[in-house]
């Protein structure tokens, strides 16, 4: 991942390594964009960490009128549907 527009922090692999193209903007740019992939993952991780049932609960498949739903079964005392 590139940290800023100058390419700071980029790790270089062995000389014979296949070159990887960066598909996303640098971190500095992504932090300023609320819709960036970096901010998307930050939000997803925050939601997961704030809800232990999502992070560590078990999953149960429910069928309601031919529709499949997934329910996160209880983790300690919480249940999320």
Spatial separation of the C-alpha atoms in residues 7 and 26, rounded to whole Å:
8
pLDDT above 70 for 77:
no
pLDDT above 80 for 18:
yes
- Other C-beta atoms lying within 10 Å of the C-beta of residue 26: 19
pLDDT (average), residues 35-41: 95
Q: What's the confidence (pLDDT) of residue 71?
A: 60
Q: What's the confidence (pLDDT) of residue 68?
A: 62
pLDDT (average), residues 23-33: 90
Cβ-Cβ contacts under 8 Å for 50 (sequence gap 6 or more): none
pLDDT (average), residues 11-20: 78
Q: What is the pLDDT of residues 51-68, one digit of tens each?
A: 777 777 776 776 777 776
pLDDT (average), residues 14-37: 87
């Amino acid at each position: 991942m590139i940290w800023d527009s100058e390419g700071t922090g980029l790790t270089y692999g062995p000389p014979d390594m296949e070159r990887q193209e960066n598909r996303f903007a640098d971190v500095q740019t992504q932090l300023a964009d609320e819709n960036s992939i970096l901010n998307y993952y930050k939000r997803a991780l925050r939601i997961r960490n704030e809800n232990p049932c999502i992070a560590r609960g078990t999953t149960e498949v429910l069928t309601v009128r031919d529709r499949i739903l997934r329910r996160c079964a209880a983790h300690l005392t919480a249940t999320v549907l």
